[in-house]
Structure 1
Amino acid sequence: MAIERDLLRDRLDRATAHLDPPFAVVDLGALDTNAAALVDLAAGKPVRVASKSVRSHDLLTRVLRRPGWRGVLAFTLPEAIRLVRAEVSDDVVVAYPTADRAALAELAGDPELAAAVTLMVDDPAQLDLVDAVRAPGQRPELRVCLDLDASWRPLRGVHVGVRRSPVHSATAAGAFAATVAGRRGFRLVGVMAYEAQIAGLGDAPPGQALRGTVIRAVQRRSYRELLARRGAAVDAVREHADLEFVNGGGTGSLAATSADPAVTEVTAGSGLYGPTLFDAYRAWRPVPAAFFACSVVRRPAPGVATVLGGGWVASGPAERSRLPRPWLPAGLRLVGTEGAGEVQTPLTGAAADRLRVGDRVWFRHAKAGEVCERVNELHLVDGEAVVAAVPTYRGAGWAFL
């Protein structure tokens, strides 16, 4: 492993010798390897790409040209509209409900957009908001998807998973589907159930064997419960709607979710870049494909090398797992009292004394697409050369959250 990382460092250093840090790269060989592996894990079901985990028009297009990938799961309605207008996809599902009145007005005023974008809903108030923007008789029929809460509730008051939809039971799903069916101007075309406690939680956290055992036990029981509940919910919804798709999963649960007979498509995104949070999974670990480089600018003491910047911290709970990880050269670690700083990041470890002012340290981000909020472009590395520089959402002037 150490030798492979040394070779990777040498290759990335040679390919980007003409660039001044900080900058970010995507290794196309690793990206394509991950994209193929995710399709294999989906076992014949189409994979919808999660745009939040990619955040680059060009790379989304590259992935969608590959066999097995179809459609986009966007994170905001303005983003979905941009992706359709940029011809990235004509099948974009917005993963979260929206209250963006301007974007809703644009969607409701364009029949082609309305045919390409699917809104996420889980509350009649969201339908009311749409109607307040433009009444049913004054707009094309809008496509909607029901967000079924996939969290596990084994006991009263116990909630395992993220806090998403209020629609949790099959009965509630059927009742909501009946509500949508009774409303003019809406067509229920899909159901989504994202099992975050499985897909987004590593089952083998490093150095925490007992915690890993507990997580795996919880995930097994949660999966069995969801398998039955999701199937019943889909059946209940189909009594009121002609569903086009049932979406589930994420990179961390792709194989398990695709095995659910109720699911017709799965979603993945983070597995394309291979961020550090996915080092904690046993079933499948992506090849690291996205990195960012920082320059060593001083040596404040023996055994310490300090880089400029580096504090690209991921969202989520404020804990160490959200910090970027110094990856190349191998044998570096963050300093506990400083962590990853906005303007400087001191590093220690066996490799620190071998670093000199001007050398590069390559980091991996804890999450996938969030690295794109820090740079205007991604340098695409193929073998030992940078073959292109493509804009991130930020570089294209796309700011959605």
Structure 2
Amino acid sequence: MVSQHARLERATQHLDAPVAVVDLGAFDANAADLVRRAAGTPIRVASKSVRCRALLDRVLDVEGFAGVLAFTLAEALWLAEEHEDVVVGYPTAERAALRELAADPVLLERVTLMVDSVESLDLVRASVPEVEVPVRVCLDLDASLRLLDGRVHLGPRRSPVHDVADAVALARVIATDPVFTLVGVMAYEGQVAGLQDRPRGSLAARARGAAVRRLKRASVAELTERRGAVVAAVRQEAPLEFVNGGGTGSIETTVADASVTEVAAGSGLLAPALFDGYDSFTPTPAALFALAVTRRPGPGLVTVAGGGWVASGAAGPDRLPLPTYPRGLDLLGTEGAGEVQTPLRGTAADGLAVGDKVWFRHAKAGELGERVDALHLVGGADGEVVDVVATYRGEGMTFL
């Protein structure tokens, strides 16, 4: 079998770097594996992890995927031109987009806003004082694990709605306001879905993996009980259409929660470097980018043009792009990934000539689309570019 490296080299031999590719065989295999892991629970695709309409359309044609989880309201309105079920995954303060939403009954039927406080409701209401169709909203439940009476917070800092009382109080405010209709509950367990079981890096980082695994088990048990109680209580206030949870890294435990009706996932389609090291699944790298060798500073060293495509989140080595092909190259600790050039050291360096490509994987999935205008889709057993598709950036749509 031809290696992925050989296939990508063959497919892009006529292209100058930088060039970004998606291996369609890997993408489709990852989509199938997500469906297998979801075990019959529908998957709402997280658009921020894809940021390419052609790939969103491709995965939404796969049985088992249904609906989009958008990351801004402006993006949701754009996607809702073609898709009938778009949930905005975060509260919005986009007043112009809210006015656009309110003015279009079709968009009001297709788009659901996320809310987590009376303040977020007030902002929406001030922007859309009158609507023909009530604004669909989803209640965002904080899924973090809190210990020692809340003095220890483990997980993302998201919604202030944490327990049954919080959720019921907000649900009742929504139920009494004719501007809104409550249709869903979401609880994203980032401390489970977004943390590797076995992180790469230093011995200390790997040692933390044991603590992470214990944290995950404790958090899953606590959230399953609390989310179930919240959903049951909120259903007394509104006939919910959906309960969304999880992410690529927590599908198995999320769908095991009987209160959840759908799971969100997106990163697992492209399998960025941050999704290596999970115990429950092993995705196939599908999105890579190549940079050109421009220098050979000395034995065992090469320098490529560009490279500083650093992922968001807490700064650390795991946010840097990962040299992948040819195998045997590493970033230099003293320089990392540079804005205009990146030195690499390793056994593969002396086999590279000026002009050759070095392939990297981005640490996070969708953020690669913010760096390039187009993705070259590679298919076939030997590797060929079967299509070139625009990213959000390539369509002139940069939302965040």
TM-score clears 0.5: yes
Among the aligned pairs, what percent are the same residue?
A: 61
Shift of the alpha carbon at 1:209?
Answer: 4.1
> What is the aligned partner in structure 1 of residue 43 from structure 2?
47
3-state SS of paired residue (1:298) = strand
What residue number does 1:33 align with? 29
Instruction: Classify the secondary structure of the residue corresponding to 1:173.
Output: helix
Q: Which amino acid aligns with 1:27?
A: D
For residue 283 of structure 1, what is the aligned residue in structure 2? 280
Matched, 1:63 2:56: no
Aligned position for 1:268: 265
Within a 5 Å distance, the mapping from 1:121-136 to structure 2 comes to 121-136=115-130
- Correspondence for 2:139: 146
- TM-score calculated relative to the size of structure 1: 0.97
1:178-189 alignment, distance < 5 Å: 178-189=172-183
Aligned to 1:230: 227
Counterpart pick for 1:295 among 280, 292, 295: 292
Q: Alignment partner of 2:264: what SS?
A: strand
TM superposition shift of 1:139: 3.8
State the one-letter code of the partner of 1:324: P
Is the partner of 2:387 in helix, strand or coil?
A: strand
1:17 alignment partner AA:
Q
Give the alignment of 1:5-20 within 5 angstroms.
7-20=3-16
Residue 78 of structure 1 is matched in structure 2 by 74
1:190-213 per-residue CA deviation (whole Å, 9 max, x = no partner) reads: 000000000001111134443111
Distance in 2 of aligned mates of 1:162 and 1:139: 36
Question: What SS is found at the alignment partner of 1:190?
Answer: strand
Amino acid in the other structure paired with 2:328: G
Task: Identify unmatched segments of 5+ residues in structure 1.
Answer: none
Alignment of structure 1 residues 384-399 onto 2, 5 Å: 384-399=383-398
Matched, 1:370 2:351: no
Residue 310 (structure 2) aligned to one of 310, 313, 319: 313
1:43 and 1:56 map into 2 onto residues whose CA distance is 26
**Aligned partners of 1:100 and 1:285: how far apart in 2?**
38
CA–CA distance in structure 2, aligned partners of residues 367 and 285 of structure 1: 16
CA distance in 1, matches of 2:64, 2:181: 27
- 2: distance between equivalents of 1:222 and 1:292? 35
Instruction: Indicate the larger mover: 210-219 or 361-370.
Output: 210-219
Identify the residue that residue 177 of structure 1 maps to in structure 2.
171
Question: Would you say 1:112 and 2:106 are equivalent positions?
Answer: yes
Maintained 8 Å contact 1:139/1:185? no
Picking from 214, 219, 234, the partner of 2:211 is 214
In the aligned structure 1, how far is the partner of 2:48 from the partner of 2:302? 33
Note the C-alpha offset of 1:174. 1.1
Q: Alignment RMSD, CA only? A: 1.0
User: Quick one: which amino acid aligns to residue 279 of structure 1?
Assistant: D
- The more displaced of 169-178 and 37-46 is 169-178
1:254 to 251, 254, 263: 251
User: Cα distance, 1:72 vs. partner?
Assistant: 0.2
> 1:200: which partner in 2?
194
Aligned position for 1:93: 87
4+ aligned runs moved over 2 Å, structure 1: 206-210
The 2-side partners of 1:211 and 1:139 are apart by 53
How far residue 400 of structure 1 moved from its aligned partner, in angstroms, is 0.4
Deviation at 1:133, TM superposition (A): 1.3
